[in-house]
């Protein structure tokens, strides 16, 4: 039997919620969290029914959960509409005139839509969809920049029961074509172009290319955003603004079965063809509504900003559906964080008095690398809560975020979840759970995660293993679109009836979860199984290092040797003596076993467009092979070329 994953990183700092924060929080003490968590596990149906009753149902459910593993139905028999819950529900009271979306385009243009205005735009566009013969159950590809129309298109689909599949605006024609083919979409909603680092991304052109040679697509609706010249295919393509001339703003929300599909979102996975993760209506809405409320401790006057793109699950759950279901003001920004200069985020926070910021560790490390001078010019005192998502945050980046962005006063919620889970699964509640830098802390309500060894037995404190979830939760995926077999095999077969996350983790003596990375990335060095994130964290704690990626390469003696790719902070010279110093640094932080066999300096690391390091590619480079396999999610191809010739 393989050994368990070893964990060596010691992090002992603990940050208790400030008394002033806890006093006003929705959940204000560890005892309250534990009491609510206990109830959510012992009487999940009671707990979730209470949460669900805060939403609007057109027909009440008969049963909260029907679980025939691995297929779950939540709020069985209930009927509701997600768009109605995100919009109409807020129109009776003072929220009617509250900002729903505050948006800024990359060139600096600005728009604010109140709930009333957003409702109107969604109704009108839903009528455009109907006019173009898009019906309940039809699949619609949304390929738009991060502009309010992306949210409007998603909500308009939800309003009539069409199933959207958002394709990230950075993806190519091939990715669009694959997704259309997989879900049999009949319409595409796109724009002429979008802005990215000052350039125009030719979205419509990519769509034209994707549709060449024939697909299931009958209609393309084009929003005019960038003003670039495009081709209009008569009989297939229509302009968004022209279509609006034919419709009114009256569009009742269709009552949909609680298990009606809401969206399909493709995740690349490290190998194989993209998986269409299917989310449905009632359970998903309850899951994201409840988690948005508790994890971000939302108050009526918060200005909430999640920096994720609409093309990722974070954009679905925590830019659009979660905050709007909770009646919040959600900020959207179209472009890059360093455009025109690396202080764009801090400018936005200052200008709109953002109080909650939710971003990714990869962004935080980029800010550190760009230097503190960019924040000094801006007033960040409106912030009261910070969040991270997407990968393990190394403790040094956590501390920087806490001190420099949060001014030492803002709690940080490090939220662990996945496209498949739909909603946040392991996270601090900011007024209740003391945080430790680098740990996602404790499970959210109703979530029952556990760490097991190869045979499925729970491991003891601080022993690494596989992270699984023992029971269904409302926002969980329902299927891989059109492929029940793959759904069952991928997620539910290794430990029958339990959900396999694919992540490795350990739990400390306080029950805190520490995610050590994807199981596929775990290194096996001389019989020791090491998580990549720990080696990377150790490296990033060195003052000269900006970012690091650790991978294994075949080694006759040890099974695997450790190769690390390191990017340095601005102005630091890559010298041979620094390589030696870094090896020693990992040795002192983790132990001799984790000392890298080779340190390679790189200008940048290959990342997916959502910011995750593509270790698979680095592994091939480390082993001296040329890179093969799928690179369609790679953000910047020039990075690969440069790495291939990385100086030794
Ligand atoms: O490995 C975990 C990592 O990201 C994976 C899920 O990626 P994706 O489906 O793209 O969703 C990202 C946004 C939810 C997980 O399996 N991950 C995500 N959040 C964290 C994390 N790893 C450690 N800590 C986190 N907070």
Q: What is the pLDDT of residue 456?
A: 95
Lowest-pLDDT choice from 393-402, 557-566, 591-600, 623-632: 623-632
In a shared domain, residues 294 and 310: yes
The helix/strand/coil state of 427 is coil
CB-based contacts of 341, cutoff 8 Å, min separation 6? 374
26-to-290, 318, 432, 641 alpha-carbon distances in Å = 11, 18, 9, 50
Q: Kindly provide the residue ranges of all beta strands, DSSP E only, lying in 523-592, ordered along the sequence.
A: 523-525, 528-530, 545-555, 559-568
Same domain, 475 and 611: no
Which residues, 6+ apart, have CB-to-CB distance to 125 below 8 Å?
149, 152, 153, 156, 240, 244
Q: Edge-to-edge strand order for the sheet containing 465-469? A: 449-452, 465-469, 499-507, 513-518
CATH code for position 327:
3.40.50.12780
Same domain, 158 and 40: no
Identify the domain boundary among 460, 489, 514. Answer: 514
Backbone angles phi, psi at 519, to 5 degrees: -55, -40
Residues 155 and 41 in one domain: no
Mutate to test the pocket of ligand 1, among 166, 391, 435, 512 (most ligand atoms within 8 A of CB): 391
Looking at the fold, whether 21 and 145 belong to one and the same domain comes out as no
415 lines ligand 1 (CB under 6 A): yes
* Element housing 163 (H / E): strand 163-166
Is the pLDDT score of 647 beyond 50? no
Claim to verify: residue 468 and residue 382 sit in the same structural domain: yes
Is the Cβ atom of 493 under 6 angstroms away from ligand 1? Answer: no
The answer to whether residues 188 and 220 touch, using CB atoms and an 8 Å cutoff, is yes
Please say if the pLDDT value at position 522 is more than 90: no
Q: Give the residue, out of 287, 309, 416, 514, with the most ligand 1 atoms within 8 A of its beta carbon, to mutate for a pocket test.
A: 416
Assign 246 a pLDDT band (cuts: 50, 70, 90): very high
Name residues whose C-beta falls within 8 Å of residue 16's C-beta, 6 or more positions apart in sequence.
Answer: 434
Give the total number of structural domains in the chain.
3
- Distance (Å) from CA 332 to ligand 1 centroid: 21
Mean pLDDT of 121-149: 98
Sign of CA dihedral 578, 582, 583, 584: positive
Closest protein CA for atom 8 of ligand 1: 418
Give the whole-angstrom CA distance, residue 18 versus residue 468. Answer: 32
Q: How many CB atoms lie within 10 A of CB 305?
A: 25
- Same-domain status, 238 and 266: no
Tell how far the Cα of 515 is from the centroid of ligand 1, in angstroms: 9
Of 487, 514, 541, the position where a domain reaches its end is 514
Higher-confidence position of 629 and 236:
236
My answer on whether 238 and 90 are in the same domain is: yes
Candidates 278, 307, 502, 515: which one to mutate for ligand 1, based on the most atoms within 8 Å of Cβ? Answer: 515
Close Cβ partners of 29 (under 8 Å, ≥ 6 residues apart): 22, 431, 432
Report residue 424 as tokens.
């946040």
Nearest alpha-carbon partner for 123 in 83, 94, 163, 79: 83
Is residue 161 within 8 A of residue 82, CB to CB? The reply is: no
Give the structural domain span for 469.
Answer: 5-81+262-514
- CA-closest candidate to residue 169, choices 609, 544, 492, 469: 609
Q: Are 68 and 297 in contact (CB under 8 A)?
A: no
For range 205-210, the mean pLDDT: 97
Site to probe by mutation for ligand 1, drawn from 274, 279, 417, 532 as the one with most ligand atoms within 8 Å of Cβ, is 417
Confidence of residue 224 (pLDDT cuts 50, 70, 90): very high
103: CA distance to ligand 1 center in Å?
A: 26
How far apart CA 221 and CA 241 sit, in angstroms, is: 9
End-to-end CA distance of the chain: 37
3-state secondary structure 77-144: CCEECHHHHHCHHHCCCHHHHCEEEEEECCCCCEEEEEHHHHHHHHHHHHHHHHHCCCCCCCEEEEEC
Contact 462, 506 (CB under 8 A): yes
**CB of 228 closer than 6 A to ligand 1?**
no
Rg (CA), the chain: 24
The model's pLDDT over 476-513, given as tens digits with 9 standing for 90+, comes to 999 999 999 999 999 999 999 999 999 999 999 999 99
| Phi, psi dihedral angles at 267 (to 5 degrees) | -115, 145
| 428 plus 385 within the same structural domain | yes
Judge whether 107 and 195 are in contact, CB under 8 Å. yes
Q: What is the pLDDT of residues 571-605, one digit of tens each?
A: 899 999 999 999 999 888 887 888 999 999 998 89
- What is the pLDDT confidence band of residue 646, given thresholds at 50, 70 and 90? very low
Final residue in a domain of this structure, among 196, 219, 254 = 254
633 lines ligand 1 (CB under 6 A): no
Residues 231 and 93 in one domain: yes
pLDDT tens digits, 603-614: 889 888 778 888
Angstrom distances, CA of residue 576 to CA of 548, 551, 598, 636 = 17, 20, 11, 27
| Tokens of residue 109, six digits | 């243009």
Residues 11 and 94 in one domain: no
Q: Examine the domain organization and report whether 50 and 179 are in the same domain.
A: no
Is residue 205 within 8 A of residue 174, CB to CB? The reply is no
Instruction: Measure the CA–CA gap between 524 and 61, rounded to whole angstroms.
Output: 49
Q: For residue 84, how many other CB atoms are within 10 A of its CB?
A: 22
Q: Which two tokens stand for residue 301?
A: 């006057």
Buried b (16+ CB within 10 A) or exposed e, 310-319: bbbbbbbbbb
pLDDT at site 520: 82
Quote the pLDDT of residue 611.
80
Residue 530: predicted pLDDT? 81
Whether 505 and 467 have beta carbons less than 8 Å apart is answered as: yes
pLDDT per residue as tens digits for the range 327-352: 999 999 999 999 999 999 999 999 99
- Minimal-distance CA residue to ligand 1 atom 5: 418
Give 532's pLDDT tier (boundaries 50, 70, 90).
confident
Q: Provide the CATH number for the domain around residue 581.
A: 3.30.300.30
Integer CA distances (angstroms), 47 to 25, 35, 83, 349, 443, in order: 19, 12, 24, 35, 15
- Computed from CA positions of residues 60, 65, 67, 73, in that sequence, does the dihedral angle turn out positive or negative? positive
């Amino acid at each position: 039997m393989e050994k368990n994953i070893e964990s060596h990183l010691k992090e002992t700092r603990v940050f208790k919620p400030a008394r002033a924060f806890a006093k006003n929080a929705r959940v204000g003490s560890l005892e309250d969290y534990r009491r609510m968590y206990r109830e959510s596990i012992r009487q999940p149906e009671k707990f979730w029914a209470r949460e669900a009753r805060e939403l609007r149902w057109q027909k009440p459910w008969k049963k909260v959960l029907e679980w025939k593993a691995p297929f779950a139905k939540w709020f069985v028999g209930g009927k509701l509409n997600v768009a109605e819950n995100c919009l109409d529900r807020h129109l009776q009271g003072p929220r009617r005139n509250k900002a729903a979306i505050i948006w800024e385009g990359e060139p600096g243009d600005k728009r604010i839509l109140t709930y009333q205005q957003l409702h109107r735009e969604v109704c009108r566009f839903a009528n455009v969809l109907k006019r173009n013969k898009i019906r309940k159950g039809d699949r619609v590809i949304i390929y738009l920049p991060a502009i309010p129309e992306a949210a409007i298109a998603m909500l308009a689909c939800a309003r009539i029961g069409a199933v959207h599949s958002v394709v990230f605006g950075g993806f190519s024609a091939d990715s669009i074509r694959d997704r259309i083919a997989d879900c049999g979409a009949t319409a595409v909603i796109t724009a002429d172009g979008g802005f990215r680092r000052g350039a125009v991304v030719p979205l419509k052109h990519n769509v034209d290319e994707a549709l060449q040679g024939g697909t299931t697509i009958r209609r393309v609706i084009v929003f005019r955003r960038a003003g670039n010249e495009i081709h209009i295919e008569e009989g297939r393509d229509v302009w968004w603004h022209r279509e609006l001339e034919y419709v009114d703003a009256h569009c009742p929300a269709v009552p949909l079965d609680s298990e009606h599909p809401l969206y399909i979102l493709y995740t690349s996975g490290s190998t194989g063809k993209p998986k269409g993760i299917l989310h449905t209506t009632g359970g998903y809405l309850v899951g994201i509504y409840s988690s948005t409320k508790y994890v971000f401790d939302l108050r009526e006057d918060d200005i909430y900003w999640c920096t994720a793109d609409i093309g990722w699950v974070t954009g679905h759950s925590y830019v659009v559906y979660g905050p709007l279901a909770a009646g919040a003001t959600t900020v959207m920004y179209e472009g890059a964080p360093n455009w025109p200069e690396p202080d764009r985020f801090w400018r936005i926070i200052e200008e709109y008095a953002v109080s909650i910021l939710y971003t990714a560790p990869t962004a935080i490390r980029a800010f550190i690398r760009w230097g503190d001078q960019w924040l000094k010019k801006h007033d960040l005192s409106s912030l009261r809560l910070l969040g991270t998502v997407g990968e393990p945050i190394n403790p040094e980046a956590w501390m920087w975020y806490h001190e420099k962005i949060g001014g030492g006063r803002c709690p940080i919620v490090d939220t662990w979840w996945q496209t498949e889970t739909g909603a946040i699964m392991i996270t601090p509640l900011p007024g209740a759970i003391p945080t430790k830098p680098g740990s996602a802390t404790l499970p959210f309500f109703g979530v029952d995660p556990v760490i097991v060894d190869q045979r499925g037995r729970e491991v003891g404190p601080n022993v690494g293993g596989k992270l699984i979830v023992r029971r269904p939760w409302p926002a969980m995926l329902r299927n891989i679109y059109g492929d029940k077999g793959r759904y069952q095999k991928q997620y539910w077969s290794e430990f029958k009836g339990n959900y396999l996350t694919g992540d490795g983790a350990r739990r400390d003596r306080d029950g805190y979860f520490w995610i050590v990375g994807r199981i596929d990335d775990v290194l096996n060095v001389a019989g020791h199984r090491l998580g990549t994130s720990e080696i990377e964290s150790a490296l990033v704690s060195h003052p000269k290092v900006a970012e690091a990626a650790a991978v294994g390469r075949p080694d006759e003696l040890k099974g695997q040797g450790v190769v690390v790719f390191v990017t340095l902070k601005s102005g630091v010279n890559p010298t041979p003596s620094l390589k030696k110093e870094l090896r020693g640094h990992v040795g002192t932080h983790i132990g001799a076993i984790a000392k890298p066999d080779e340190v390679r300096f790189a200008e940048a690391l290959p990342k997916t467009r959502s910011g995750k390091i593509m270790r698979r590619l680095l592994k091939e480079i480390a082993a001296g092979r040329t890179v093969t396999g799928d690179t369609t999610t790679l953000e910047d191809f020039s990075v690969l070329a440069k790495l291939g010739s990385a100086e030794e």
